[in-house]
Amino acid sequence: TPPLRIPPSVLVQIYYTSPLRIHPPWPNFSCLHCLSICQLLEREDDSLHLTESAAGVDRVLSGKLTELLKISGPGLKKGKSRIFYGLHEDFPCIAVVGLGRNSLGVCGTEYWDTCKENIRAAIAGGCRVLQNHVLTHIEVDGCNDSQSAAEGAVLGLFTYDDLKTKKKTRVTTQLHGSGCVSGWEKGVLYGEGQNLARYLMEAPANHVTPSVFADTITNRLAPYADHVTVHKRSQEWIEEQQMGAFLSVSKGSEEPPVFLELHYNGCPDNTQCPLLLVGKGITFDSGGISLKPPSGMDAMRADMGGAATVCSAIVTAAALNLPINIIGLAPLCENMPSGKANKPGDVVTAKNGKTIQVDNTDAEGRLILADALCYAHSFNPRAIVNAATLTGAMDVALGSAATGVFTNSDWLWEQLHKASVVTGDRVWRMPLFQHYTRQVTDCQLADLNNVGKYSRSGGACTAAAFLREFVTAPHWAHLDIAGVMTNKDEVTVVFWNIDLRAVFDFCIDFTGFVSLS
């Protein structure tokens, strides 16, 4: 009797749901698996086109892969996947994912490279499908863009389950075939850098206090101690620096503040002016006396996303061995209500001597950034970029589609925008009009008010105008990442969607600019 021919979909159902113990007819089922990506050209004839690696697998299988794709259902659309089992002894499980059209590139309306973004999303989705099938090793099709494929794989497989008894399968990945190995390795570093930031943001606030955050970054930078210096500044040092705005926020919590200062020296020329990165590091934001509503407050464990972005960028720069000098500053504290906390109407003094009327204690991020930006100027930086989950108004304005960028430098904007197009972490330029400056300088008791005169109107813009009062550098950019702090349905690759890979690419572009200068 000839063997029973079971369609792949039925085989999957029988193997995973039948009470009978059916052994798969191939060796090492949980050890070696291949992820192949097919590229569907969305033409009128709905024709199918495989990537180079997928076509190579199909040739080894004598066209079996193409045949199965044709008979297993309707055309494979972008982002959709199918899994086939038992086609080859070396690759007992093959996932095929639709990439969409292969003729796409930089889109003038979407402001990203659609081809790269499709690869990231497809690879991420395919890897997650295989992970859900409890597979431990995946060979990934480079799709002629190994870096994007690696980013998708690393980002797609990320999960935070450290505190759960039942954990997801840990999956290792490697590039399939003869793709660009250096591009793959770079993509892995990009993805791991973003996952470090996501890990810090996902972890509960009682597990990532200011001190624990600083220790975590210190440990991650330990392998690069020959060209990285870490300073964990104590409360006494902060007081010596007369950072009154920062201290006014931290005093409401029992957790002591930490001012984390990172120096990455990748350029042998010690006279090179550094790139200065500053990140807001509120490890939990209750709102203080101006208490936030309880719904969704748990997400405020990620209010140090700016600090996570900055520190992860420096970890990645060190791993990439970039020939550039970078300094990262992260004021770390909690914003809590207590008998010692800021009260609405209090007046505090920043490091540069300006007085600030604190009318809303939930607008605390700009207070700690004010002192950090003042300190940043002491290093004579070539440019200053600060990142912060600063305002809910930015989420209202742009949602999770893009980071809002406020800058006094056209050159700096062009560099950030260029990097964002490549990485898919989109940015959008926002206004720094004097109109908004007047709303924070028209203050009853002090030089500045920490909220705009008209409260909710243009909240992201008045926050940026406030920060500008502490900046004298000609090249400064403020990235409000509040909208991309968490993922919405329209973003397919990541959960915490911080604008980190754009910062990585900006650092690389900045390296080239310094060399030309």
Residue 272, CA distances (Å) to 182, 193, 511 in order: 28, 25, 11
Coil vs helix vs strand at 503: helix
Give SS3 for 26. Answer: coil
Q: In what order do the strands lie in the sheet with 448-449?
A: 346-349, 355-358, 448-449
Catalytic one among 168, 292, 418, 453? 292
CA dist., res. 227 & res. 211, Å (int)? 23
CA distances from 513 to 104, 323, 412 (A): 29, 11, 11
Two tokens, residue 314:
């420096």
Q: How buried is residue 48: exposed, middle or buried, by Cβ count under 10 Å (0-12/13-18/19+)?
A: middle
Q: How far apart are CA 301 and CA 218, in angstroms?
A: 20
Name the catalytic one among 116, 120, 198, 366: 366
The CA distance from 57 to 65, in Å, is: 8
The C-alpha atoms of residue 502 and residue 315 are separated, in whole angstroms, by 15
Copy the structure tokens of residue 17: 């749901």
Helix H or strand E segment including 218: helix 210-221
Residue 149 main-chain phi, psi, to 5 deg: -65, -45
Query: Cα–Cα distances in Å, from 289 out to 296, 355, 361?
Result: 17, 20, 6
The DSSP code sequence of 98-130 is E---SS--EETTTTEEHHHHHHHHHHHHHHHHH
Could you give the CA distance from residue 362 to residue 249 in angstroms, rounded to a whole number? Answer: 10
Using N-to-C axis directions, what is the helix angle for 305-320 and 500-516, rounded to 10°?
50
Q: Give the closest residue to 38 by CA, choosing from 93, 78, 7, 72.
A: 78
Distances (CA, A) of 213 to 43, 255, 281: 50, 12, 9
Cα pseudo-dihedral 28, 57, 51, 134, rounded to 10? -10
Q: In 3D, which of 330, 305, 314 has the Cα closest to residue 481?
A: 305
Q: Is 292 a catalytic residue?
A: yes
Q: Which residues pair with 33 in a beta bridge?
A: 138
Alpha-carbon distance 123 to 81, whole Å? 10
Q: Is 228 left (phi over 0), alpha (psi -120 to 50) or beta?
A: beta
- Nearest in space to 59 (alpha carbons), one of 76, 36, 80: 36
Closest CA to 416 of 483, 481, 505, 497: 505
Active site residues: 292, 366
